[in-house]
Amino acid sequence: MYRNLVTSLFEHERVRTTDAKAKGVRSLAEKMITLGKRGDLHARRRALRVIRRREVAAKVFDELAERYRDRPGGYTRIVKLGIRPGDAAAMSIIELVESGDAASSAPKTGEKAGKRAASKKGGAKAAKKGDAKAAKKGDAKAAKKDDARTVKKTTKKATAKSKAEKKPAKKATKKKAAAKKDSGTTTKKKTSSKATAKKKAVRKKKTD
């Protein structure tokens, strides 16, 4: 893993990785540059034990050795970026010193990290606002449902009361109708019995 990181560091002159890996790669990268400044065959063989690509090793011995010829050490620097949101790992960029692209790109990466953090904060705020709106809507819907339920309950109670009030009235009317029928039948029976008694009396007189 460190061999791959050192190779990509010399190839691209900057690598974004975790803070612990960047600190581990720094010592290897500076050793390779000191070997490149030596420039002999034994130094090349030792460098090729670590660097995986011959083109990158040639860049170290030709270009980087000339760049850091007058520099006694400190060929790399680590720029911390912050915490990665996935696993909360401390992220950083390790890059070569005195490289034009790296010096100009370091603050850009910081700005990008700041923009990402700001966008995340804005997204969190929007999510909170959305949750508040959804909660308000849910409360309004629940209130409407509760109002509808209360209205239904009150209407049911009112209908039950009206039915309860109508039942004794219906019973009274039925009783009155039954009483009228009974009285009518009794009067009919009385009148019929009187008529039959009169007819019998008339027949007796005729026979006499």
- CA atoms of 190 and 125, how far apart (whole Å): 97
Question: What's 86's DSSP letter?
Answer: T
Q: What is the pTM of this model?
A: 0.47
Cβ atoms within 10 Å of 9's Cβ, excluding its own: 24
Contacts of 114 (CB under 8 A, 6+ apart): none
Q: Measured between alpha carbons, how far is 43 from 100 in angstroms, rounded to an integer?
A: 27
Q: What is the pLDDT along the chain (208 residues), one digit of tens a residue?
A: 999 999 999 999 999 999 999 999 999 999 999 999 999 999 999 999 999 999 999 999 999 999 999 999 899 999 999 999 989 999 999 999 985 544 444 444 455 555 565 565 555 565 566 666 655 666 666 666 666 676 676 677 777 766 666 666 666 667 776 766 666 665 666 667 777 777 777 777 777 6
